[in-house]
């Protein structure tokens, strides 16, 4: 029995008839699966069965330029007309890139009989543009896209469909996106100014359609960009499988890789008692053991996998036992705590990562490979009425990891402005740490006697504590929970 998705009411009626008429027939004549037009053409000399607006731009609010799109009666690969796209310069007041989609004007097209989107294109410069299909700005279920480089003469481009059988009703006929041309080859995504010397250009598209070429060969799909990733984690860990696509060999012998949406893929877990994966690629670690998540398109197994190793549930830090009334809490689920908690207000340049992990509703901060990090919050706390500070730390790097905890007092002006009025001191917790185990550390506030890396002399004042700092001389990794004064 086929999976019937469309025109449910009609089909239900059809099933009822089929069941009463004959047990042998799979499906009644009345319940023919709804099909949609299989029109292949998108633009030949004019748009074919597209919406009246023809071109639906990306949002101008994010910089999409809606002015550069049109048709050109003076240029055509074949026939009398082509699509002309003027790619804006970076300083164009109407927007610094151009892009959008063409959408089918009807309920969608049946593309199951085609294996590729094809078109001819040429550019006034050899710019690189993103092209694809399957994006309709409605459900965006089946996007496929890839980058192509234009040439100065007309050239045919082939964008293979990863699994045409999925495209029974597709409205996303075409997508393109193009930014200015990097003539000097100095674009740097981390430096917006590096784009300012780019220039605008024009490209043309013609004979845009779906085809059944028969010459595109799926070499392999891929997940996680084809990498075999291994992760050690605990029950409750989640991850979404990304880096999805497929690599094809075209009839001209060239390989092309496309990005493809999750909807083309089937995902499986090697052990559903350890980790599950949904149809949308959402992985949930649910038990102890090892499970490997793999993907496939049709019968083709994807390159890349996610292996999860788990010892089961994460053991959270023990719940604190101090009475709430006796506590000024910085970070704990057990007490009302400061607002604006930030586990990394600042960090040394060698610090690898800072993240917050949550297992069974209990969060902690995961510091990996730190040199120094600062914990901050809104305002300061006055702990002159307290005698101790508590912190739960689990060392995740090896024995011998060095760690000093510091209290930073902003001084009477309540502002982080150095040691004009501020004070600071440290306490070495290294000897108390244990790898792989939570250790509750309780430190007398009078014990923060060490000078600090930031220049504090030790023995901080306690009325305006604004930061708690951790410093490691050898790149310690550790988890932190339940920081409070009492």
- Closest CB 219 distance from other proteins, rounded Å: 8
Applying CB under 8 A, among 93, 253, 340, 361 the residue interacting with other proteins is: 253
Residues 6+ apart with CB under 8 A from 386: 328, 445, 462, 485, 486
Terminal CA-CA length for the chain: 67
Nearer to other proteins, 189 or 253 (CB): 253
Residue 225 contacts other proteins per CB under 8 A: no
Region binding other proteins by CB under 8 A among candidate stretches 42-50, 245-253, 284-292, 415-423: 245-253
Nearer to other proteins, 89 or 213 (CB): 213
- Closest CB 203 distance from other proteins, rounded Å: 27
x/- site string to other proteins, residues 181 to 220, per CB under 8 A? -------------------------------xxxx-x-x-
Residue 39 contacts other proteins per CB under 8 A: no
User: Can you tell me the distance from the alpha carbon of 295 to that of 301, in angstroms, rounded to the nearest whole number?
Assistant: 6
Residues 6+ apart with CB under 8 A from 78: 44, 120, 206, 207
x/- site string to other proteins, residues 387 to 426, per CB under 8 A? ----------------------------------------
- Closest CB 57 distance from other proteins, rounded Å: 36
Residue 27 corresponds to which tokens in the numbers above? 């499906």
Residue 372 corresponds to which tokens in the numbers above? 């120094």
Query: Which residues in the 135-164 window bind other proteins by CB under 8 A?
Result: none
- Closest CB 304 distance from other proteins, rounded Å: 16
Nearer to other proteins, 253 or 420 (CB): 253
- Closest CB 51 distance from other proteins, rounded Å: 31
Query: Which residues in the 316-335 window bind other proteins by CB under 8 A?
Result: none
User: Can you tell me the distance from the alpha carbon of 41 to that of 260, in angstroms, rounded to the nearest whole number?
Assistant: 22
Nearer to other proteins, 58 or 222 (CB): 222
Nearer to other proteins, 226 or 453 (CB): 226
Question: Per DSSP, which regions of 325-371 are E strands?
Answer: 328-331, 342-347, 353-359, 362-368
Applying CB under 8 A, among 70, 79, 113, 251 the residue interacting with other proteins is: 251
Residue 255 contacts other proteins per CB under 8 A: yes
Closest CA to 269 of 258, 260, 279: 279
Residues 6+ apart with CB under 8 A from 221: 162, 244, 245, 246, 247, 260, 264, 265, 295, 296, 297, 300, 301, 302, 303
Q: Contact at 8 Å (CB) between 122 and 152?
A: yes
Nearer to other proteins, 253 or 361 (CB): 253
Q: Contact at 8 Å (CB) between 101 and 137?
A: yes
Nearer to other proteins, 34 or 213 (CB): 213
- Closest CB 213 distance from other proteins, rounded Å: 7
Q: Contact at 8 Å (CB) between 123 and 152?
A: yes
Per DSSP, the three-state class of 384 is coil
# binding residues, other proteins (CB under 8 A): 11
Specify which residues 160 forms β-bridges with: 116
- Closest CB 362 distance from other proteins, rounded Å: 47
Residue 161 corresponds to which tokens in the numbers above? 């469909």
Residue 38 contacts other proteins per CB under 8 A: no
Closest CA to 274 of 254, 260, 292: 292
Q: Contact at 8 Å (CB) between 81 and 88?
A: no
Residue 249 contacts other proteins per CB under 8 A: yes
Q: Contact at 8 Å (CB) between 82 and 72?
A: yes
Give residue 422's region: left, alpha or beta (phi > 0; psi -120 to 50).
Answer: beta
Nearer to other proteins, 105 or 155 (CB): 155
Q: Contact at 8 Å (CB) between 326 and 486?
A: yes
Nearer to other proteins, 111 or 424 (CB): 111
- Closest CB 294 distance from other proteins, rounded Å: 19
Nearer to other proteins, 216 or 239 (CB): 216
Nearer to other proteins, 20 or 254 (CB): 254
- Closest CB 255 distance from other proteins, rounded Å: 5
Residues in contact with other proteins by the rule CB under 8 A = 212-215, 217, 219, 249, 251-253, 255
């Amino acid at each position: 029995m086929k999976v019937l998705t469309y025109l449910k009411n009609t089909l239900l009626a059809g099933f009822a008839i089929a069941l009463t008429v004959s047990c042998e027939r799979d499906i009644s004549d009345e319940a023919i699966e709804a099909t949609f037009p299989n029109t292949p053409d998108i633009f030949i000399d004019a748009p074919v069965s597209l919406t009246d607006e023809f071109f639906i731009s990306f949002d101008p609010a994010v910089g999409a330029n809606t002015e550069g799109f049109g048709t050109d009666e003076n240029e055509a690969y074949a026939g009398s007309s082509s699509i002309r796209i003027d790619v804006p310069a970076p300083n164009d007041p109407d927007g610094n890139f151009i892009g959008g989609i063409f959408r089918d004007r009807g309920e969608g097209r049946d593309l199951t009989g085609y294996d590729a989107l094809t078109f001819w294109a040429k550019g006034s410069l050899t710019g690189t543009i993103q092209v694809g299909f399957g994006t309709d700005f409605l459900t965006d279920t089946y996007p496929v896209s890839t980058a192509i480089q234009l040439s100065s003469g007309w050239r045919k481009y082939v964008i293979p469909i990863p699994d045409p059988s999925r495209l029974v009703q597709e409205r996303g006929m075409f997508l393109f996106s193009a930014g200015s041309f990097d003539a000097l080859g100095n674009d740097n995504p981390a430096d917006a100014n590096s784009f300012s010397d780019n220039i605008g250009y024009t490209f043309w598209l013609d004979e845009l359609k779906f085809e059944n070429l028969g010459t595109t060969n799926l070499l392999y799909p891929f997940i996680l960009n084809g990498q075999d990733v291994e992760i050690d984690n605990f029950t409750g860990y989640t991850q979404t499988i990304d880096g999805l696509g497929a690599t094809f060999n075209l009839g001209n012998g060239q390989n092309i890789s496309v990005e493809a949406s999750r909807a083309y893929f089937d995902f499986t877990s090697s052990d559903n008692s350890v980790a599950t994966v949904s149809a949308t690629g959402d992985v949930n670690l649910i038990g102890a053991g090892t499970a490997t998540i793999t993907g496939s398109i049709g019968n083709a197994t994807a390159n890349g996998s996610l292996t999860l190793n788990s010892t089961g549930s994460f053991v959270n830090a023990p719940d604190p036992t101090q009475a709430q009334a006796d506590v000024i809490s910085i970070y704990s689920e057990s007490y009302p705590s400061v607002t604006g908690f930030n586990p990394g207000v600042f960090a040394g340049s060698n610090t690898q990562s800072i993240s917050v992990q949550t297992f069974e509703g209990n969060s902690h901060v995961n510091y990996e490979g730190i040199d120094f990090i600062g914990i901050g919050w809104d305002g300061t706390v006055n702990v002159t009425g307290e005698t101790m500070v508590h912190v739960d730390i689990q060392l995740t790097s090896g024995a011998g990891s060095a760690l000093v905890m510091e209290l930073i007092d902003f001084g009477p002006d309540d502002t982080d402005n150095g040691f004009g009025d501020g004070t600071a001191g440290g306490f070495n917790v290294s000897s108390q740490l244990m790898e792989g185990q939570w250790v509750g550390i309780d430190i007398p506030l009078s014990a923060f006697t060490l000078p600090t890396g930031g220049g504090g002399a030790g023995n901080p004042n306690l009325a305006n504590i604004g930061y708690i700092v951790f410093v490691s001389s050898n790149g310690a990794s550790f988890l932190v929970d339940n920081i409070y004064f009492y």
